[in-house]
Amino acid sequence: MKKTMEKSAVMLSIFTVAGKGIGFLRMMVVAFLFGANYETDAYYLANGLVSNILYALSTAIAVSFLPIYIEKKARKGEEETSKFTSNVITVLSVLAVIVSVAVCVGAPLLAKLSAPSYEEVQLRQVALYFRVLAVGIVFSLVTSLLKSLLDAEEIYGYGAFSGIIFSVVTIVFAVLFYKTWGILSLVVSVPAAYFIQYIFLNVRARKCVKITFKFDLHEEGLKVLLYSSVPVLLSNTTVEILQLVDRMLASSSAEGAVSALSYSANLNDVVISVISASLITVFFTEFSKNTVNNNVEFLKRNLQKGLGILILILLPISVITVLFGEDIVTIVYYRGSFGREAVELTSLAIMIYAVSWVAVSVEKLFIKVFFALNDTKKPMIISISVVLVNIILSVSFVQLLGFAGIPLGTVCAEIFSVILNVFFLQRKIGSIGIKELIADIGKMIMGALAVGVVSNIVKIVMAEQAALVRFASGTVVGLSVYALVLVALKCQVIRKH
């Protein structure tokens, strides 16, 4: 099982790296053609809110679906599993149509809510974007469910590859139509990409289960799914409210600030998706299997393994990003319409966000354990508490620090979230082995400090060099020192993996 997990994680990471590489290219093209201004702010405000709605709904359904799917297939066979899957897809499609219509009708109100400081012309532009984006809601929600289905079948590559489709479609639309459509070319590319993703995943999913039209709101499996999804949905909704507040704060702080948050979020997402999300996706499937087999001890061992790997990988990457944040943004975005002011705002955000990467990833792993244990209430309680703290901190910090207060509030809230997750999880299943990891975590921190020292020396020595040369040199030297320190200190996480 260990080799299977590691092989799946490596394969998923390869696909994810490829997807994020093309995603990088997508953001570079967008930054080059459109820069960071009020037009891009309007696009990111509309797309951000619609994406938040989609994320809240799709994640709530998908994470609740996977454990139920695995249990049904193990205990009731493929025929019952196919019926259950078909019913969920049909009901979800109907729900998606309702949400899409609601977004279209409420577009002016959503525009005003998203950007209260905007003028009437700008608000009409945002409302138009909402209506165009609403077209893709149905395809996006069903696509998320199909990804969860394939994850349950341990077919990870297709879900990761669908991200490549999204980036390619965006690039094609932007390059072909930006001169005639302007920023609208980006808006139209989103529902088009969702539709192509749906076709791609639907073809593969039908090889795993027989999907037919079935609409039964009284099916027992659907009731269980909806019941377990509600706390997740409430939890996700609070997170999306937080992101809405962040964008509102950014929209009133400076021109291009919303875009800067979005550009930094894409860099942030590269690290989280390539490293942590790939591992967590595989571990979630294993956690669910451990729960179905009533094997809590194996679940704890897998959790300890996951924690060790995430911290091992993310600590040095966070340190390097804090030191070379401006170089990273310069390499990726600084060309065309993306000016020096946009570089400064974006790099400031990514350097602060990087501090929380370990906490964000560890939090996501803990949440998957709760979901695997069919406990969606605790994550909801934790999420609501953390979001309230985050909003209070962000609003307070913005008054003192301006734009930097937004990511700083998020960093503090993520650390608070990890503390709450550890507390509630240990109350549920007993000790999760944190004490056993403390010695290795200490060694990793020492290694990360060494990375900070030597990489900063490289940065100073190579101050006159090009950003790419400076960043690459600092990264290679820093990671080499990190590996040497951990080997010298006999870090057990390395020796085991």
DSSP string, 339-387: -HHHHHHHHHHHHHHHTTHHHHHHHHHHHHHHHHTT--HHHHHHHHHHH
- How does residue 240 score in pLDDT terms, banded at 50, 70 and 90? low
Range with the lowest mean pLDDT among 179-188, 281-290, 344-353, 437-446? 281-290
Residue pLDDT, tens place only, 374-390: 787 888 888 889 888 98
Is the pLDDT confidence value at 301 over 60?
Answer: yes
Give the chain's mean pLDDT.
Answer: 83
Collapse the DSSP code of 199 into the 3-class scheme (helix H, G, I; strand E, B; otherwise coil) and give the result. helix
Helices 38-105 and 120-134: crossing angle in degrees, nearest 10, is: 60
Among all chains, which residue has been given the structure tokens 């590859």?
161
Collapse the DSSP code of 324 into the 3-class scheme (helix H, G, I; strand E, B; otherwise coil) and give the result. helix
- The percent of residues in the chain predicted with pLDDT above 90, rounded, is 21
- The amino acid that residue 336 corresponds to is G
The pLDDT of residue 1 is 47
Helices 38-105 and 220-251: crossing angle in degrees, nearest 10, is: 150
Range with the lowest mean pLDDT among 309-313, 349-353, 428-432, 455-459? 428-432
Query: Of 265, 336, 341, 342, which is closest to residue 29 (Cα–Cα)?
Result: 336
Among all chains, which residue has been given the structure tokens 């509600």?
230
Angle at 181 between CA 123 and CA 131, to 5 degrees: 40
Length of the chain: 497
- CA–centroid distance for 73 within its chain: 28
The pLDDT of residue 452 is 93
Most confident of 60-69, 89-98, 111-120: 89-98
Over range 66-91, report the average pLDDT.
Answer: 83
Q: Which DSSP symbol is given to 402?
A: G
- The DSSP secondary structure of 108-170, one letter per residue, reads HHHHHHH-TT--HHHHHHHHHHHHHHHTTHHHHHHHHHHHHHHHHTT--HHHHHHHHHHHHHH
Query: Of 196, 229, 194, which is closest to residue 57 (Cα–Cα)?
Result: 229
Among all chains, which residue has been given the structure tokens 């700083």?
408
Range with the lowest mean pLDDT among 104-113, 249-258, 268-277? 249-258
The pLDDT of residue 378 is 86
Alpha carbon distance 68, 54 (integer Å): 21
The pLDDT of residue 74 is 79
Is the pLDDT confidence value at 233 over 90?
Answer: no
Alpha carbon distance 443, 471 (integer Å): 25
Is the pLDDT confidence value at 106 over 70?
Answer: yes
Q: Which DSSP symbol is given to 277?
A: I
